[in-house]
Chain A
């Protein structure tokens, strides 16, 4: 090798490094968008803009555009007026009358919200081609929508729904009110591209798969409900959780859902963590337990015996799982769904001796083999680890579990195939949109998503659905919760929170549940 060659190579390398250094040195963090409120979400879901064109996961960004007939009071979750100032239900629960708020304006100059807009929104949401989550039970429920005057909407039902106002018509669901005039004028495709509502914000821009920017409407000063402090709300889709945490730390995000494992990291970085409490319920469901179905029940599964299911509940130290996996952000569950009315139902204590006794009683003193299918989701990244913990506890009482990782779509498809499955699976329960419909969806054979049902339970649910006396209804509902617990309809693990990391830019954000999004009420730090 010659000296000449050495010099030449050396010169080239130095020039390259100098170039890189010069390029990087003047960078200013212009990407932080300091004046905007930046929300980093794990998904935009369908990334569509009308209430009926996708799932409720889109409410994270759509709830600053669309508003609802009723809201839930932060803290108490008591139903409070929204676009409807008041409402009344007929004694038989089959007709509801909503009295609309006067003077609420759509953005874009599309005029005052009237009963015609509400009727259009309801009818469009329940149409056959609607992709909204609750569209099919709402379609079965709603018989007609009448508009006797501009500010009154009468909804007639095929069967009673005693919770319509706070259920399907509430802010936790998908009945955002759209402007009929706007859809009539633009047609559905164009109106979808630039959605307007009565909310404080309207769509400014969308970068598919990357970000959605909402900007304040011009006449926001007169808004009836909120007085936002941020000119723009930028929603970014950031599927990787460690990236969301990094964004919080660098100021590139102001609010982001985080995993339980990231809570210490976020706190150590001097940021705040707030949690939506008891929004989901990690659970282990049993296959083949829909006794009221001809093809979804298998009496040969060991867990077809109640004693075995109870034993599998007693065997698991749920508090330890909560402490280790959920960093204390959960409470021991007595049900598979976060329902306040069931909060007094006593959870199964950790008692492996009792579990062994029950197994012996059921004829399984030598244990048995079982398959646990598990998957990750959001929230629910912890489910595979939870499956491993449950398997270890079950091993302690002689039940040998094999863990089979799957993806959620395959499992969901298998679940709804109408078979008596011979495995158990980790899952997550969510609050019911309305108690009656939640029970029907989860515990009656008519629903393809039923995982557990007995003739006795279906009778109890029917009695509850038809009960008109509110006190009696509450008692019957509580009794159903107790029944599900005593029968060990699933292995109830925890009622878990959903934690969010908050940057220094944010002053106050009162999150009450993960189903009603109020990013339009986030305040700036002083």
Chain B
């Protein structure tokens, strides 16, 4: 176990370094924030001064090394567009909203996806199976922007059951989590369905039935336990997708997460915030996958024996 964690930590640090290089240079390809920050009637002298004040007159390699040196001490710089606030502070203010939405959406998709997947496998080729496959097809093909608006129209505008948007109450989670989760729900349903079908046809399930175990124990304990291994493998990816892919959902439902912060910072060419957001998201991605690796070892004894 220790070896796995140590190896993954080294890989994570290399990944973060590479990502810092990519995002630093990539974010500068489409101009800088100077033009956006210049007020009406600004002159060339104002432009030169502002460029110097922001440190953008330095060679780009020097800018990167300066950034890297400070980042190693936890200083990701200050926002150039949001009143000179520390970039990390801006992100930390938004992170709880992102994590909680991704958490709720993931829990929702895991519960419903596993249930649908099991039902579809157990009732193979029945109406339930067709419905589950239809949900999977719709979930993976409907754009989240459209789905979000439709859900809002039905459940908030027409039925009045839920708020249209916002953040702060439990009701605010329902529509964005459902919208965000549907794509992953489809993936989980398909995964569980196929691995359950495989498991239900295997020898150990036949043996369990012969031994006289109840059907619920056969399905939910023996068949499902083994079918969940591929789902767990993908959980880290699903969670990261929900954090990084939430920009549209956060925009439609006015959710104050880091996806929208990243999007707004990119538009404002707010380099320090963009860099910090990407590195934070990369870290979350790496941590999630590390946890999955550890979990994988815990639930699959074969992995332990392989070391």
Contact = CB atoms under 8 A, between A and B. Distances in A.
Q: Are chains A and B native binding partners rather than an unrelated pairing?
A: yes
A16 B118 CA distance: 14
Contacts of B149: 242
Contacts of B167: 207, 210
B269 interface: yes
Contacts of A239: 251, 254, 260
A447 to B, nearest CB: 6
A27 B161 contact: yes
Given A46-B83, A131-B37, A133-B39, A250 B164 contact: yes
Interface string B230-260: 0000000000000000000001111111001
Contact of B153 (A246, A409, A437, A446): A246
Q: Which of B43, B44, B165, B257 has the most CB of A within 10 A?
A: B165
A137 interface: yes
A134 B252 CA distance: 33
Given A416-B38, A418-B44, A446-B43, A5 B31 contact: no
A135 B255 CA distance: 33
A430 B49 CA distance: 26
B82 A237 contact: no
A137 B163 contact: no
A410 interface: yes
Interface residues of B, number: 69
A243 B41 contact: no
B162 interface: yes
A129 B83 CA distance: 10
A243 B152 contact: yes
Interface stretch (A6-14, A65-73, A276-284): A6-14
Interface string B130-157: 0000000000000000000100110011
A128 B46 CA distance: 10
A449 interface: yes
A31 B167 CA distance: 10
Given A9-B123, A13-B119, A208 B90 contact: yes
Interface stretch (B59-67, B168-176, B185-193): B168-176
B252 A243 contact: yes
Contacts of B46: 136, 448
B227 to A, nearest CB: 15
Contacts of B305: none
B115 A13 contact: yes
B84 interface: yes
Contacts of A47: 82-83
Nearest to A174: B39
A525 B267 CA distance: 39
A134 B123 contact: no
Contacts of A210: 97, 166-168, 254-256
A243 B253 contact: yes
B108 to A, nearest CB: 11
Given A5-B219, A246-B157, A12 B268 contact: no
A54 interface: yes
A249 to B, nearest CB: 5
Given A210-B168, A416-B38, A9 B119 contact: yes
Given A416-B35, A447-B43, A246 B156 contact: yes
Interface in B215-232: 215-216, 219
A207 B261 CA distance: 13
Contacts of A5: 122, 215, 219
A250 B157 contact: yes
B168 A132 contact: no
A209 interface: yes
Nearest to A439: B41
A247 B157 CA distance: 8
Interface in A230-280: 236-240, 242-243, 246-247, 249-250, 252
Nearest to B254: A238
A252 B41 contact: no
B280 to A, nearest CB: 15
A209 B171 contact: no
A37 to B, nearest CB: 16
A4 B215 contact: yes
A209 B165 CA distance: 13
A129 B37 CA distance: 11
A209 B122 contact: no
Nearest to B116: A13
Interface in A420-438: 433, 437-438
Interface string B27-46: 00011111111111111101
A470 interface: no
A240 B164 CA distance: 11
Q: Which of B36, B123, B215, B253 has the most CB of A within 10 A?
A: B215
Given A5-B122, A410-B30, 9 more contacts: A8-B219, A9-B128, A27-B171, A47-B83, A137-B41, A246-B157, A252-B166, A409-B268, A415-B35
The 3 closest A-B pairs by CB, nearest first: A209-B256, A48-B83, A413-B31
30 contacts: A2-B215, A8-B215, A8-B216, A9-B118, A9-B119, A9-B128, A12-B119, A13-B115, A46-B82, A53-B83, A135-B39, A136-B41, A208-B90, A211-B166, A236-B254, A238-B254, A240-B254, A243-B164, A243-B252, A246-B164, A409-B30, A412-B35, A416-B34, A441-B40, A441-B41, A446-B43, A447-B41, A447-B42, A447-B43, A449-B42
Interface of A: 1-2, 4-6, 8-9, 12-13, 16, 24, 27, 29-31, 46-48, 53-54, 128-129, 131-137, 192, 207-211, 236-240, 242-243, 246-247, 249-250, 252, 407-410, 412-416, 418, 433, 437-438, 440-441, 446-449
